[in-house]
Amino acid sequence: MKSSERSVSVWEATREQREFPPLQGEVRAEVCVVGAGIAGMTTAYLLAKAGRRVVVLDDNAVGGGETGQTTAHLTSAMDDYYHVLEKVHGKDGARLTRDSHQGAIDAIERIVTEEGIDCDFARVDGYWFCGPEHGRDFLEKERDAAHRAGATDAEVVERVPGMPFDTGPALRFPRQGQFHVLKYLEGLVRCIERDGGAIHTGNHVDGVEGGSPAKASGKGFTVTADAVVVATNSPISDFVAVHTKQAPYRTFVVAGRVPAGSVPRVLLWDSLDPYHYVRTQPAEGDPAREWLIVGGEDHKTGHHDDADERFARLEAWTRARFPVQDFELRWSGQVLEPVDFLGYLGRDPAGHENVYIATGDSGQGMTHGTIAGLLISDLVLGRANPWETLYDPKRKTLSVDSVKMFLEENLDVALQYKDLLPTGGEVKDAGEIAPGTGAILQKGLTKVAAYRDQGGTLHQRVANCTHLGCIVQWNSEEKSWDCPCHGSRFSAEGDQVLNGPALGPLKPYGEEG
Ligand code: FES
């Protein structure tokens, strides 16, 4: 097992992840889906059900990427707020946004019911409550925008009922949802196989070509297909177009058990930036207790290496409000924040024929991934979809807010290139690197990502990200090398890509040519 193994989420701790024999050789399909997370599996499910011959490829287990790191809130209460979306995308855009996220919750419920998937799906209310910098007027402003967007049942209440602390006023969104995401994906696996689809894991796709047919390939395998859907969280099919329009953030989660019924079954978010997000989950085999899952403390990927402090703050925040003593699990995940607050779902923006992408989940990956499945399956089947223009990956949104965010995020990327200067490493000598840790060394003009494994062996790779060359940074919590520019992540040894858009591992030091 790689030393870069990450911490385990509550879903992974309570459910085996499904792996399948890897594909070898050449296969012809009607649709090839790259990525077995919620977006890819929903797309594959819908297309297989519509009679298409589908092949799913992933280098991880099913749900083994960012989907397994979610907290699985199913919500149409937008984390970038309706009053902001309305300014950026207009009233119609805000309405379509609400339709699509509420439609995604409805679609999940429909699939769960029709296919008999036992995944702890429940309809719950969601509540925004105020952080210290906001008051009731903030909630009322958001309520009014939510009403204009079609969420006419959103209402401001005096406090979240039944909470063990006084939340103060809160904005309630009825008929949201929650589920156990890996159990849900297990159900989709069964349906895809029933409908003739094939799923392969252990296949790292490092080439996607448009055309008729389009193609997805890696070491020792190729799938040609009428359509290739790239659902890899961060797309690996284009190198620039979409990556300048979104920014990667790490978010942190802790989970502990509370007495059953001591925390109401709702979704809860505060209005801080970054915000806290809270839900419960039944604890299998432990009916007297249930999981309390709390997330927050986000930072831009590769910009900080202080996960312990962030986890400690999350735990303190939680202890001050909920009856939890021990935190059994902690993990982190990556969130891609689009500059105009909506994801990119649809035809490949770089113009590759018959290639489709799904990315830019923001903090709402479960509904967003489901919207991706609904929208992209319609496009592949040649059917009209009301959300196509809203989520078009080629769109340019020229509102003040989106242009400001675009400039800020790309200035930040530009600033990362200063690290290319030979200004020295984080440590002077490899002897300073303790077992199980990594640091950047300066060797001549080259920056080296050096990791010492527990056995004492030093692994040295060129620290330039194989996407567009930024210098990667050590992530001591996940034991990975993370790129601060567009979020690529690499194993501690540097020999594996954990997250795109990079396609290949870090180059071995001494062979950089
Ligand atoms: Fe783009 Fe690393 S992810 S340079």
pLDDT in tens, 44-98: 999 999 999 999 999 999 999 999 999 999 999 999 999 999 999 999 999 999 9
Q: What pLDDT, on a 0 to 100 scale, did the predictor assign at position 513?
A: 46
When the pLDDT of each residue in the chain is averaged and rounded to a whole number, the result is: 92
Nearest CA to ligand 1 atom 1: 486
pLDDT recorded at residue 512: 55
User: Ligand 1 pocket test: which of 471, 486, 506 has the largest number of ligand atoms within 8 Å of its C-beta?
Assistant: 486
Nearest CA, atom 3, ligand 1: 486
Residues with CB under 6 A from ligand 1: 465, 467-470, 483, 485-488, 501-502
pLDDT for position 418? 64
Give mean pLDDT, residues 376-385. Answer: 98
Q: Please state, in angstroms and rounded to a whole number, the distance separating the CA atoms of residues 228 and 461.
A: 32
- Residue 183: partners with Cβ closer than 8 Å, 6 or more residues away: 15, 117, 118, 119, 120
Pocket test for ligand 1, best of 468, 471, 506 (most atoms within 8 A of CB): 468
Measured distance between the N- and C-terminal CA atoms of the chain, rounded to whole angstroms: 30
Q: Which residues pair with 439 in a beta bridge?
A: 450
Cα 216 to the chain's mean position, in Å?
A: 22
What's the CA angle centered on 407, arms 406 and 413, to 5 degrees? 90
Q: Which residues pair with 438 in a beta bridge?
A: 451
Q: Which atom of ligand 1 is nearest to 248's Cα?
A: 3
CA dist 139 and 35 (Å) reads: 37
**Residues 376, 50: contact at Cβ < 8 Å?**
no
The pTM score is 0.92
Structure tokens at 253: 């989660």
Does residue 274 have a cis bond before it (omega within 30 degrees)? yes
| Distance separating alpha carbons of residues 497 and 327, to the nearest angstrom | 30
Out of 244, 415, 467, 499, mutate this one to test ligand 1's pocket (max ligand atoms within 8 Å of CB): namely 467
- With a cut of 80, say whether residue 239 has pLDDT above it: no
Decide if pLDDT at 137 tops 50: yes
Q: Which of 188-197, 232-241, 389-398 has the highest mean pLDDT?
A: 188-197
Does 453 score more than 60 pLDDT?
yes
- Please, which pLDDT band fits residue 17 given cuts at 50, 70 and 90? confident
Under the banding of pLDDT at 50, 70 and 90, the label for residue 414 is low
Supply the pLDDT for residue 173: 98
CB 229 within 8 Å of CB 40: yes
The predicted pLDDT at position 305 comes to: 87
- Mean pLDDT of the 230-252 span: 85
| pLDDT-based confidence at residue 2 (cuts at 50, 70, 90) | very low
Distance 163 CA to ligand 1 centre (A): 42
Look at residue 4 in the predicted model and tell me its pLDDT.
44
